[in-house]
Structure 1
């Protein structure tokens, strides 16, 4: 399972490294088939990036997409200032127009920008607003973009309804690829295969793009037996592998521990002059993970050396994170320290790498080293990030060093506003070690800190309420309930614990039930 997760992470990183990836179905596909006539149709591309949520996939791309016009700064600032997704930005757009300001192509850029920030509700509002007012000619790409946004905001069923209600002339490659990607996200194998078949029947599937998606899907769900028939289909239809096909295959074969096939793809890349120069570091880290899965440590270490040679000079934090993680998995503490000393961040933000290093040293049973890394972070950072300390707290909890963890957090909280998640980690640790009184105390402190959209895990809540029920601690239950009210209504299951505890304590529950229901404490 760890291997599959790591391989999926490899796919994410390879996708991020190809910022124009989905631009893709580009000239190779256009040379095979042309879409039906549609006025003002944009270049044949799905989007100018890889979707960032869920596993990312690399795709064939031969030409960059023109940069869209940037929105007027003040319009972007007005929209950016509306942070609550429940607040409509339509009044902002209407006011902009009433002031006599122009709108047009820059709205597409706004949609793309908001999507990149995962502000899907507002992006969908702009998409609907600009087409409802006929500000721009609705294009294949607009339809594909809206399909994705409908999925992000309303879910799979609404996305399918949107697709089904599109006119026939709008259902071209861009839109089908967007639907296919959604099915990959949802791991709907049969539906994804049906989309690819329909694209083939309509002469839309004549490039590697949909096949790359299916390779990734089979990887995610573990249908590795479907890879060979899929590759045979590509060969039969004369569709060549591209570098992303090979990357996805390496990830899939690595996850399946199919070392001969994985090595075969790597050899193809290295022996092909056109591919060998372009091979990226993540190909080798994926291969290293595959070798480690089957205990071939020496081969894994050789791959990691190649990966290090291929690291980019700039923005290399992700590559360093993988090197640290995989050297840790190989049990080579010396290489972990070497990589850290060679590439540790010298300017902010660097919390991610410090967090990674603490986790790695903890796994290597070097708690003293992990503490030293945290001290180094604390002395170098200008803005303290509790996520780094959280990794050290996890290490303490796993070793039963609860008092030490609490002491370190208390000291950090004296000088800064602590994260709710930090106290929550201690609550989990106390639950795991059977110290329920302390667990309840830590949970209360986490809820007292509070954080928008944060809520404790249901398992911890249930454990703490179960403990309070057994103790007959009505006051403790009421205190927790009031704290939870700030984070959302209490579930009926937890309320039933109240009833049983009140009855056991011979207290009346009628008034309390009415008060909790009307105040929103109970869902």
Structure 2
């Protein structure tokens, strides 16, 4: 119901902030759960909610020792690596995207079916949609149709893109001086195109210019769009500072949920909890959307609290949505609890919700990774249906899934349906599939067809670049990057990450480090967290404590909060160097890291290297 309601009104009430990354998480729903202790609910919580949360909680984790406090949330959640976080070509987010049409482009996240999703087992990424929070505005049916069309022409956007240099202020000044129309519809289209291409720096300049020149009277959603861009380009602290400058009359729910969205995207648990508390104190009502965001946060950081949120949903009469079940299915699958995952699926169907293709892809992935290949194939056949020619749109989903499962014959069969007249999405999926099957020649043949047929974006080039990186083909990868530059493609975090991995796979970690250092100097966008981690892991493997600490610090400077994954790698550097890590436990506590068994074991090992009076004598 919520998905249908929100999908029906994404354009009608929009402002120029189209495409902004917004997420709505609430704390107030948690305050109702004051009777939950040690994972058990008191008798006034009715049966079906209790059963749903109870079996989910106990099948994986056993009794919870983390009650939910009335006033605030614990910040002891131990976040894990989230993979590719900031460089999604389109504006769709795992923060609850509406997959209304099967032809929509998904994000590179393992929560959804996308060619790049299949490649990243650790991905928990983000890249949100304007549809998520309904923050853009079209004034009539004509505008609505234009905004829905992702390739809608914008003269202002073309003027911005054709101008030399990074500053767009002169372009805007000239636009106004020439008397050209600068209405909200044109601004919306320009923002859409800038965000779609991840040109957040230019989008922020546009928003700043509009505010400074008072072209429009900003309303709450305009300010929210501005906050989102500041967080993306300059980091959360600057976005928080800007919130204080917004007139109080416009400092409403949308402002705080936008800030909160970026806290979740950054996996900054402490800041997110602070915003939760702020929103709770403002008394906003709990919704399925807000509960889903809390579930998503705890799926990443604290699975034991998922059951608590499910109890809250029952107590506040919030019905689970399809996205709720996707999170639960993925959480179960990641824990390799196939029995529990099947129970979630059964409960979802009993609730009258059928799995969509993205949910089915999650199921396929987890069945396959748990060795249940027959179950995975069954789901794939359900996706395909009886006549692939009549259901052509599923081909782009099937190709990478069969590629991951190393089913060459099936990839051949699906591609034979597409090859006579392939669509660009099918070509992208085929490149991923052939890459997974180590058939570089066929992947290149598909890519060459794309070059001859379409003007390619960075995203399409990256598909082939990723294949080269996975197969340590440095020369071909470098040549492809040069072609990207020659063809005017935007070189951003996604490409930087592929280049870093190319050099690392070729054994040249120092060059990968240099590429990352140069990328950091590009102030318009920051490198992805996984780029830092790729190099950090290499230094850790070498026992190079100095450079591992440097990379750890660079990650912090870039705005990525510390998580167990980073500390795990850093500790490994000390272990391989056989050097003591003084104060590491205190550092982890200061960053609110939940020191689990694995980290405790590593801490014990680095403590063993500390010198004593006896060891000094022996040395």
- What does the per-residue CA deviation read over 1:26-83, in whole Å, with 9 as the maximum and x for residues that have no partner? xxxxxxxxxxxxxxxxxxxxxxxxxxx9425799979997635469954332123236
Question: Per-residue deviation at 1:237?
Answer: 1.8
Does 1:15 find its partner at 2:97? yes
Q: Quick one: distance in 2 between partners of 1:80 and 1:409?
A: 25
Instruction: Decide whether the 8 Å contact of 2:333 with 2:341 is kept in 1.
Output: yes
Q: Quick one: distance in 1 between partners of 2:283 and 2:477?
A: 63
Does 1:164 find its partner at 2:244? yes
Q: Quick one: distance in 2 between partners of 1:128 and 1:417?
A: 31
- What does the per-residue CA deviation read over 1:309-351, in whole Å, with 9 as the maximum and x for residues that have no partner? 49995665651344234433xxx44434333334458336465
Moved >4 Å (runs of 4+) = 1-14, 56-66, 68-73, 310-318, 375-381, 383-397, 405-410, 416-430, 452-460
Instruction: Decide whether the 8 Å contact of 1:150 with 1:159 is kept in 2.
Output: yes
Match of 1:136 in 2: 216
Q: Quick one: distance in 2 between partners of 1:11 and 1:290?
A: 21
Instruction: Decide whether the 8 Å contact of 1:281 with 1:308 is kept in 2.
Output: no
Residue 356 of structure 2: which of 272, 280, 296 is its match? Answer: 280
Does 1:295 find its partner at 2:376? no
Match of 2:402 in 1: 324
Residue 184 of structure 2: which of 105, 108, 112 is its match? Answer: 105
Distance 1:2 1:129, change over 3 A: closer
1:302 counterpart SS class: helix
Question: Per-residue deviation at 1:235?
Answer: 1.5
Q: How does 1:35-434 map to 2 (within 5 A)?
A: 54-56=125-127, 67=138, 69=143, 73-82=154-163, 84=165, 86-87=166-167, 89-106=168-185, 107-221=187-301, 223-273=302-352, 275-276=353-354, 279-309=355-385, 313=391, 316=394, 318-328=396-406, 332-343=407-418, 346-347=421-422, 349=424, 352-362=428-438, 369-372=439-442, 374-375=444-445, 378=448, 382=452, 397=472, 431=507
Q: Quick one: distance in 2 between partners of 1:246 and 1:122?
A: 37
Distance 1:193 1:200, change over 3 A: same
RMSD across aligned positions (CA): 5.2
Question: Per-residue deviation at 1:118?
Answer: 1.6
Question: Per-residue deviation at 1:354?
Answer: 3.6
Question: Per-residue deviation at 1:184?
Answer: 0.6
Question: Per-residue deviation at 1:112?
Answer: 3.4
2:437 counterpart SS class: helix
Distance 1:225 1:207, change over 3 A: same
Match of 1:491 in 2: none
Distance 1:390 1:144, change over 3 A: closer
* Structure having the larger proportion of residues in helix: 1
Instruction: Decide whether the 8 Å contact of 2:399 with 2:429 is kept in 1.
Output: yes
Q: Quick one: distance in 2 between partners of 1:407 and 1:128?
A: 41
Question: Per-residue deviation at 1:175?
Answer: 1.4
Distance 1:7 1:254, change over 3 A: farther
Question: Per-residue deviation at 1:227?
Answer: 0.7
Question: Per-residue deviation at 1:113?
Answer: 3.1
Question: Per-residue deviation at 1:375?
Answer: 4.8
When structure 1 is superposed on structure 2, of 111-120 and 55-64 the one drifting more is 55-64
Q: Quick one: distance in 2 between partners of 1:18 and 1:109?
A: 21
Q: Quick one: distance in 2 between partners of 1:380 and 1:266?
A: 38
Instruction: Decide whether the 8 Å contact of 1:253 with 1:261 is kept in 2.
Output: yes
Tell me how many residue pairs correspond in the alignment.
Answer: 396
Question: Per-residue deviation at 1:7?
Answer: 13
- What does the per-residue CA deviation read over 1:142-177, in whole Å, with 9 as the maximum and x for residues that have no partner? 121111011112111101111233333322221121
Instruction: Decide whether the 8 Å contact of 2:400 with 2:429 is kept in 1.
Output: no
Instruction: Decide whether the 8 Å contact of 2:504 with 2:535 is kept in 1.
Output: no
Instruction: Decide whether the 8 Å contact of 1:288 with 1:303 is kept in 2.
Output: yes
Instruction: Decide whether the 8 Å contact of 1:57 with 1:213 is kept in 2.
Output: no
Q: Quick one: distance in 1 between partners of 2:280 and 2:476?
A: 63
| TM-score of the two chains, using structure 2 as the length reference | 0.52
Q: Quick one: distance in 2 between partners of 1:375 and 1:163?
A: 50
Distance 1:308 1:12, change over 3 A: farther
1:238 counterpart SS class: coil
- In structure 2, stretches of 5+ residues that fail to align are 1-78, 102-123, 147-151, 516-520, 540-619
When structure 1 is superposed on structure 2, of 304-313 and 255-264 the one drifting more is 304-313
Distance 1:318 1:16, change over 3 A: farther
- In structure 1, stretches of 5+ residues that fail to align are 20-52, 363-368, 447-451, 464-523
Distance 1:153 1:5, change over 3 A: closer
When structure 1 is superposed on structure 2, of 138-147 and 292-301 the one drifting more is 292-301
1:80 counterpart SS class: helix
Question: Per-residue deviation at 1:395?
Answer: 6.9
Instruction: Decide whether the 8 Å contact of 1:247 with 1:283 is kept in 2.
Output: yes
Q: Quick one: distance in 1 between partners of 2:314 and 2:506?
A: 57
